[in-house]
Amino acid sequence: MAKDLPSFADAVRGMHVPASANEHLRARHRFAILEAAGLFRRVEKIRRARLAHRGPELAVDSQLERRILEMLPFDLTGDQAAALQKIWRLMQGPAPMGVLLQGDVATGKTIVAWCVAMSAVAAGPNYRPAPGVGVQAAGLILRACSRSCVASRFSPRCSRTSASII
């Protein structure tokens, strides 16, 4: 524990009968750090448990990659392509994936997700395009993305899209 934080007993006193506003803030800080550390331990335990199980391994070869990308009416941006490649590498397994696709509004997250879903669909009926999401919601996403790709011929204004392991 950091040198400037109160002991546990002092923090309890500082929360319930503080001698000053500063003492109360220091006590709150101590408990916030304890709570955050506990949260991080739980998240790490869950992450390790997930990695201990084998997930489906799905490889996207260059032929499938080309077929998926040729369906798009525009080229992916560098960030979109990098995020897609990272997700496709993770799909090769062996651990179940936990990925957060993040980016500002209109940066192309949906088109990256569509490409990933298409690769799962191409792998056959044993794969779901959106694990953890209801089939109806996944179908709506795929239908909306498919319509968007076929109907529009614009090059999206994109800044940054990235994939992060969670």
* 28-76 pLDDT, tens digit each: 999 999 999 999 999 999 888 877 887 778 888 999 999 999 888 889 9
Domain tally for the chain? Answer: 2
89, 115: one domain: yes
Mean predicted confidence (pLDDT) in 145-157 = 46
d(CA 53, CA 136): 27
| Site of tokens 């739980």 | 42
66, 138: one domain: yes
| Residue 2 located in a structural domain | no
| Residue 3 located in a structural domain | no
68, 143: one domain: yes
| Residue 157 located in a structural domain | yes
d(CA 3, CA 16): 22
Return the structure tokens found at 152.
């529009």
What one-letter code names the amino acid at 148? S
How many other C-beta atoms lie within 10 A of the C-beta of residue 145? 17
| Residue 1 located in a structural domain | no
**Are the CB atoms for 57 and 92 separated by under 8 Å?**
yes
| Residue 66 located in a structural domain | yes
The residue with greater pLDDT, 147 or 110, is 110
Q: Does 79 score more than 60 pLDDT?
A: yes
Query: Residue 163 forms beta bridges with which residues?
Result: 101
d(CA 124, CA 108): 26
- Kind of pairing between the strands at 161-165 and 99-103: antiparallel
Tens of pLDDT, residue by residue over 109-121, are 888 888 888 888 8
89, 40: one domain: no
Where helices occur in the chain by DSSP H, the ranges are: 8-16, 21-52, 62-70, 78-91, 109-122, 135-151
Query: Residue 100 forms beta bridges with which residues?
Result: 164
pLDDT at residue 166, rounded to an integer = 45
- Provide the residue range defining the domain that includes 40: 8-52
Tens of pLDDT, residue by residue over 5-41, are 899 999 999 999 999 999 999 999 999 999 999 999 9
Per the confidence metrics, is the pTM higher than 0.85?
Answer: no
Tens of pLDDT, residue by residue over 81-137, are 999 999 999 888 887 777 888 888 888 888 888 888 888 888 877 766 555 444 444
